[in-house]
Structure 1
Amino acid sequence: MNVFDRNINFDALFKFSHISASTQEHLKRVYASFALCMFVAAAGAYINVVTHLFQFSLLTGLGALGLMIWLTATPHNRETEQKRLGMLAGFAFLTGINLGPLLQMCISINPSIIPTAFLGTATIFACFSLSALYARRRSFLYLGGFLLSGLTLMLLSSVVNAFVGSTWLFTANLYLGLMIMCGFVLFDTQLIIEKAESGDKDYIWHCVDLFLDFVDIFRELLMILGMTEKKKKEKK
């Protein structure tokens, strides 16, 4: 018997028997929209980094918030589908632009931070998404309460740190935020599955949840890697 002779059944590897066919089709649309968001956001971030047109993120942040509210208020149906996809693309573009100042800061420290953070984010997102897809249905939904509690703790500590100015507390908040956003990937993925199984097929809005999770993880990693690299330079 040849122990190295192993045939991998890729059909079984990507088989989600516990998820209905209609929900699997819905997830394909969600991730296709997610890929569109990533491309548009990357374009927005690149334009801002190269042109330096949007140094103040307040207006673009308000624009992104406005598009999100507009998207929420617009009902999901075939007549509004293209319109809502346009809103989604605009939201992703402005979100990418808002990352411009942080990206410029990382470039000034070490340009290699950006691809490292992106690859790290993609790996984390893929691993936690697959974990949620393969896991038993609703097995991670209990995390919702813990994650919201963690966000509240982060908010309170940020307010305290605004007066204290502790570097240690700021760093702890970054790592806590990273762990919380990883948990949200698990929670949101399974929540999307449950919503789809219940008849909610709004793949555009479901895409927003995953896109924001990815962006938040990317932002946390950028800041963590940037701080680490900056400390290394200061020691030298």
Structure 2
Amino acid sequence: MNVFDRSINMDALFKFSHISASTQEHLKRVYASFALCMLVAAVGAYINAVTHLFQLSLLTGLGALGLMVWLTATPHSRDTERKRLGMLTGFAFLTGINLGPLLQMCISINPSIIPTAFLGTATIFTCFSLSALYARRRSFLYLGGFLLSGLTLMLLSSLVNAFMGSTWLFTANLYVGLMIMCGFVLFDTQLIIEKAENGDKDYIWHCVDLFLDFVNIFRELLMILGMTEKQPEAFASVGFSLVQAFL
């Protein structure tokens, strides 16, 4: 045996024998829709930066929420597939526009924050997604209860901090929120696999889960990087009202 042989078997690397062929096809549709959402959201964010639509962030946020509710209420079928894809595209576009206030804030501090945060988010999302795909089925589903409990506690602490105005608590929420969202990538990916194995092939709604995970990680990293470039007290006082509502 040659201990210095470090050749990699690429066929084994991309082999998901624990996932059925139909579920693998489903995952391809999910990630293809996810790529479409990322492209449309980037277009929305760019349009926001050029036209300064961030002043309408409340309206775009309500519009995105309305499209999500409409998408939830529309059953998944071949007849409604194009209609639901249109809803998904509109939701991603409005989500990109709704990032405007935070993006404008980061541009005013240091424009390099945005590509750094995006590359960091892409790396985190890819690593945790692959971990969930390669891991034994259902091995991360136990995280659901812990993640929801942590998210609830974080929301409560955010409400309390709205009256306290503690910079330390604000910063702690950012880092805890980042860890929770990373956990949701693991949980949601394996949950999508289990749903698909049990016959739920609604790839459009499954795409929404992953897209929201990515966007939330991106927001957290933008805030964390922004606070390293500026005094935390000043950044938190402006950023609190913009980001905490999405947590």
TM-score norm. by structure 1 comes to: 0.95
Distance 1:54 1:106, change over 3 A: closer
CA-to-aligned-CA distance 1:23-61 (integer Å, 9 cap, x gap): 000000000000000000000000001110241311101
d(CA) in 2 for partners of 1:125, 1:150: 20
Whether the 8 Å CA contact 1:132–1:189 is kept in 2: the answer is yes
d(CA) in 1 for partners of 2:95, 2:226: 20
Whether the 8 Å CA contact 1:141–1:191 is kept in 2: the answer is yes
Whether the 8 Å CA contact 1:132–1:190 is kept in 2: the answer is yes
Q: For residue 177 of structure 2, what is the aligned residue in structure 1? A: 177
CA-to-aligned-CA distance 1:172-222 (integer Å, 9 cap, x gap): 000010000000000000000000000000000000000000000000000
Q: Structure 2 regions of 5+ residues with no counterpart? A: 231-247
Question: Offset at 1:162?
Answer: 0.8
Whether the 8 Å CA contact 1:109–1:229 is kept in 2: the answer is yes
d(CA) in 2 for partners of 1:148, 1:8: 38
Instruction: Report which stretch shifted further, 7-16 or 96-105.
Output: 7-16
Question: Offset at 1:2?
Answer: 7.3
Question: Offset at 1:7?
Answer: 3.1
CA-to-aligned-CA distance 1:140-185 (integer Å, 9 cap, x gap): 0000000011011111101110111000000000001000000000
d(CA) in 1 for partners of 2:154, 2:224: 16
Whether the 8 Å CA contact 2:121–2:221 is kept in 1: the answer is yes
Instruction: Report which stretch shifted further, 206-215 or 67-76.
Output: 67-76
d(CA) in 1 for partners of 2:7, 2:173: 45
Q: For residue 17 of structure 1, what is the aligned residue in structure 2? A: 17
Q: Structure 1 regions of 5+ residues with no counterpart? A: 231-236
- Runs (4 or more) in structure 1 with deviation over 6 Å come to none
d(CA) in 2 for partners of 1:10, 1:38: 28
Whether the 8 Å CA contact 1:54–1:97 is kept in 2: the answer is yes
Question: Offset at 1:4?
Answer: 5.6
d(CA) in 2 for partners of 1:131, 1:75: 31
Question: Offset at 1:76?
Answer: 0.7
Q: For residue 211 of structure 2, what is the aligned residue in structure 1? A: 211
Question: Offset at 1:3?
Answer: 6.2
Whether the 8 Å CA contact 1:49–1:101 is kept in 2: the answer is no
CA-to-aligned-CA distance 1:98-152 (integer Å, 9 cap, x gap): 0011001001000000000000000000000000000110000000000011011
TM-score norm. by structure 2 comes to: 0.91
Q: How many residue pairs get matched?
A: 230
Question: Offset at 1:6?
Answer: 4.0
Question: Offset at 1:9?
Answer: 1.5
Q: Percent identity?
A: 93
Instruction: Report which stretch shifted further, 190-199 or 5-14.
Output: 5-14
Distance 1:10 1:149, change over 3 A: same
Q: Secondary structure at the match of 2:54?
A: coil
Whether the 8 Å CA contact 1:45–1:96 is kept in 2: the answer is yes
Whether the 8 Å CA contact 2:64–2:90 is kept in 1: the answer is yes
Q: Secondary structure at the match of 1:17?
A: coil
Whether the 8 Å CA contact 2:53–2:100 is kept in 1: the answer is no
Whether the 8 Å CA contact 1:185–1:213 is kept in 2: the answer is yes
Q: For residue 188 of structure 2, what is the aligned residue in structure 1? A: 188
Q: For residue 89 of structure 1, what is the aligned residue in structure 2? A: 89
Q: For residue 167 of structure 2, what is the aligned residue in structure 1? A: 167
